[in-house]
Chains A and B, each alone.
Chain A
Amino acid sequence: MKVLIPVKRVVDFNVKVRVKPDGSGVDTANVKMSMNPFDEIAVEEAVRLKEKGIASELVAISCGVAACQETLRTALALGADRAILIETNAELQPLAVAKLLKAIVDKETPQLVILGKQAIDDDSNQTGQMLAALLGWPQATFASKVDIAGGKATVKREVDGGLETVAMVLPAVITTDLRLNEPRYATLPNIMKAKKKPLDVVKPDALGVDVAPRLATLKVVEPPKRKGGGKVADVKELVAKLRSEAKVIS
């Protein structure tokens, strides 16, 4: 079974982003970039499927600037077999990414596409569902457990208030949630092997996909700062203030 793993290059989890003074967006120049953490979980799950003998080939895909190759190399170091970069300097929104991925899926015909539930930059939480819709495939979003057997994927999903289990006939799309697994660290020998694994670069035009954005970002601002720093002397004063001043308890 071939598995496709879309991965996104995002501002590293640990970086405190700064809004550009002109309000045009967030400053991403010279900021540490890493693989979206939810995509790391997807890569890990795919690697485990391969280790269990369920998956036979893992293909990592990224859409974006040339530097996304680094993210793909990370995926290769973690265990993907080969990688595809859909290279463009254009701003890509989830619908465009889903269309690009669909074009690759049509060519590669994987049985499973597994990706993060959302990217920690735009926090859209759309790409997996959109891809499933475009392909007419079933989807299991927010997966916390995946079992694959007999052409079916049984997935436990995180839903508000608990878990839900669905069974899907493959091919299908799965998006990963935090509890699915704990991603491994790339090993030094695998980092060195990664550079010998194939990485193909294609352009959106070659896939016949129009990636023009549908949403215009008019401005980006910092969230208002909470004042904070208020103190109370004791429990009695706290309760009194919560009742009479903040009016949050009765």
Chain B
Amino acid sequence: MSILVVAEHDHSTLKSATLHAVAACGKLGGDIHLLVAGHNARGAAEAPQLAGQLAENVAALIVNIAGPYSHIVLPATGFGKNIAPRVAASLDVAQVSDIMSVESPDTFIRPIYAGNAFATVQSKDAKKVITVRTTAFDAVVPEGGHAAIEDVAAPPGFEGIELLGQELTKSDRPELTSARIIISGGRGLQKGENFKMLEALADKLNAAIGASRAAVDAGFVPNDYQVGQTGKIVAPDLYIAVGISGAIQHLAGMKDSKVIVAINKDPEAPIFQIADYGLVGDLFEIVPALTAELSST
């Protein structure tokens, strides 16, 4: 039995999501093969048509080499979610999305209903196509590798789709979905410019900035800051909720965080019920004090 992990990378380095996906495979057992589908990536599959990593091309390549593998594993990121179902349908197998746990080689636990229930599912297909919730598995340490590197030929490029460009949001901050620490602001911030206060704290902690739907609705910050059932679902090591009351839809997006800190002036705010460390008080005093405390020690 061997496993094919499809690497997420930028043609020079592996993205951390790959390391989490590999970690999940450790629990499946069997040889792990890593497919690096790219261009000028010194990796396995090399072809100009793979430069854009379009689902049509990457999926076709995976399907071509899928023969010997029992499992085909991708991270449940924008990259993996785009490609995996295309692979699964081409192989006429079901896909198991967003697994959080490996119970056995054919049985997995995955969240449904925005994490309000966990389903244990068993795949009846000979091949399992899986995407892995990266926050659920600790990353493997990328060192000491000794695997052979083998080239595979890429199938011809898919006609009918062309990558025109990418506009990556310019930010030195980590991405919301992969940040180890997230600081989120809610309606309690009162206006968009008060998010600057959170930025100062985020700089200290190398944290990403998020927001509740209320803050996004009020126009304080753009949509892509939104953490919640309809926004980003995050599970960082540390989630600091500032001026967020804790509507159920928000909790759905962050309650898997390993440690939750809540700062709110209303002691009855539901956010405190799930916070490991709650601090009741005026966020306009607490946040600067916290930034200062982290600077001083």
Contacts and interface: CB of A to CB of B under 8 A. Distances in A.
Interface of A: 11, 13, 16-17, 19, 25-26, 37, 93-95, 98, 120-134, 137-142, 154, 158-169, 172, 178-179, 213-223, 226-232, 234-236, 238-239, 241-242, 246, 248-249
Contact of A229 (B255, B272, B297): B272
B289 interface: yes
A123 B162 contact: no
Nearest to A219: B120
Contacts of A235: 279, 286, 289-290, 293
Nearest to A121: B113
B166 A163 contact: yes
B86 A129 contact: yes
Given A138-B160, A214-B124, A248-B237, A238 B118 contact: no
Interface stretch (B26-34, B35-43, B54-62, B141-149): B54-62
Contacts of A214: 93-94, 123-125
A217 B161 contact: no
A125 B97 contact: yes
Nearest to B178: A160
A57 to B, nearest CB: 23
B116 A223 contact: yes
Nearest to A127: B85
B229 A216 contact: no
B230 interface: yes
A123 B98 contact: yes
Contacts of B162: 166-168
Contacts of A127: 85
Contacts of A165: 163-167
A164 B81 CA distance: 15
B153 interface: no
Interface of B: 54-56, 59, 77-79, 81-90, 92-98, 107, 111-125, 158-169, 175, 177-178, 181, 205, 223-224, 229-231, 237-238, 248, 255, 258-261, 272-280, 286, 289-290, 293-294, 297
B116 A16 contact: yes
A37 B56 contact: no
Nearest to A212: B124
A160 B273 contact: no
Nearest to B100: A223
A215 B274 contact: no
A140 to B, nearest CB: 8
A139 B118 CA distance: 29
Nearest to A128: B85
A227 B278 CA distance: 12
Given A168-B161, A178-B223, A230-B278, 16 more contacts: A17-B117, A26-B112, A125-B98, A129-B81, A130-B85, A160-B79, A165-B163, A214-B125, A221-B118, A221-B120, A223-B111, A228-B273, A235-B289, A235-B290, A246-B238, A246-B277
Nearest to A243: B297
Nearest to B226: A178
A139 B124 contact: no
A159 B231 CA distance: 13
B89 A130 contact: yes
A234 B279 contact: yes
A37 to B, nearest CB: 7
Contacts of A138: 56, 158, 160-161
Contacts of A11: 113
B82 A142 contact: yes
A142 B223 CA distance: 14
Given A133-B90, A223-B116, A238-B290, A160 B175 contact: yes
Contact of A236 (B83, B258, B274, B293): B293
B277 A241 contact: yes
Given A19-B117, A214-B124, A235-B279, A123 B293 contact: no
A219 B121 CA distance: 7
Contacts of A220: 112, 117-120
B163 A166 contact: yes
Contacts of B164: 154, 165-167
Nearest to B233: A123
